[in-house]
Structure 1
Amino acid sequence: MSPRAVIERWVEAFNAADVDAIAALYAPDAVNHQVVADPVEGREAIRAMFVREFAEADMTCLVEHLFEDGEWAILEWRDPLGLRGCGFFHVVGGRIAFQRGYFDRLSFLRQQGLPLPTE
């Protein structure tokens, strides 16, 4: 499966809050690094991260642009509340091996009515 096709499936699973389908798209030793937090290592830890995040917030990914370059997919997204971000996905053998994401965490927390960091 091409990197673009993998990320198209990822977006579908994300928008359905289907953590099992999301986790299945990652390699067993994958790393998900959202730059606003420490990297999460391993498929099961990534799955657990999504379980926590979907329990805390109503998240939707609206694709603005989706590009593919070799083993990489680049996703520019927005959500219904106006938050924007981008993600870089290294896809090897049809599985996400590495993901890095960029978004404004403070805006996300404010929009979702979640507690703001005190530091």
Structure 2
Amino acid sequence: MSASPEQVVRAWVDAFNAGNVDALEQLYAEDAVNHQVAYDPLHGRSAIRALFEREFARARMVCVIENLFVDGDRAILEWSDPLGLRGCGIFHVADGRIVHQRGYFDKLSFYRAQGLPLEKALEE
């Protein structure tokens, strides 16, 4: 039996907080889409992996579960982090893997909280 959407999202949070790109990659279907709305959608597991490699190299990110709602094959994650950021992720899970993820967060607040140059945020 494959993992439920709740189990997959909880595993995703654990892997994310550990900065474990290998574990994160395995949670996605080969042809998954990850669309963080502040950026263009990423298509495919390798593109999603590259995103996590890049982001973990430049920032220490932590995901604290505020609420986790499940409806059928979808899970909605409301999250915060210790720096005061807040956001929401919607995960579509099929056969125990993420097939589509959409995330909402404020890009400029992320850059400010992480001490990253704001000019770069405006270029991306």
> Would you say same fold, with TM above 0.5?
yes
Identity over the aligned pairs, expressed in percent?
A: 66
Give, as a single letter, the amino acid of the residue that structure 1 aligns with 2:38: V
Distance 1:15 1:113 in 2: 19
| Aligned position for 1:3 | 5
The correspondence of residues 1-119 of structure 1 with structure 2, limited to 5 A, is: 1-117=3-119, 118=122
**How far is the alpha carbon of 1:12 from its aligned partner?**
0.3
TM-score, scaled relative to structure 2: 0.94
**How far is the alpha carbon of 1:99 from its aligned partner?**
0.2
**How far is the alpha carbon of 1:40 from its aligned partner?**
0.7
| Secondary structure of 1:14's aligned partner | helix
Distance 1:28 1:82 in 2: 33
Show structure 1 runs of 5+ residues with no match: none
* Aligned residue pair count: 119
TM-score, scaled relative to structure 1: 0.98
Distance 1:65 1:40 in 2: 25
Distance 1:73 1:93 in 2: 14
Runs of 4+ in 1 over 6 A off after TM superposition: none
Query: In the TM superposition, what whole-angstrom CA distance separates every residue of 1:60-108 from its partner, at most 9, and x where no partner exists?
Result: 0000001110000000000001100000000001000000000011000
Query: In the TM superposition, what whole-angstrom CA distance separates every residue of 1:19-41 from its partner, at most 9, and x where no partner exists?
Result: 00000000000000000000011
Distance 2:63 2:113 in 1: 15
Give, as a single letter, the amino acid of the residue that structure 2 aligns with 1:115: P
Distance 1:76 1:109 in 2: 20
Give, as a single letter, the amino acid of the residue that structure 1 aligns with 2:98: I
**How far is the alpha carbon of 1:115 from its aligned partner?**
1.3
| Secondary structure of 1:90's aligned partner | strand
Distance 1:81 1:100 in 2: 22
Query: In angstroms, what is the RMSD of aligned CA positions?
Result: 0.8
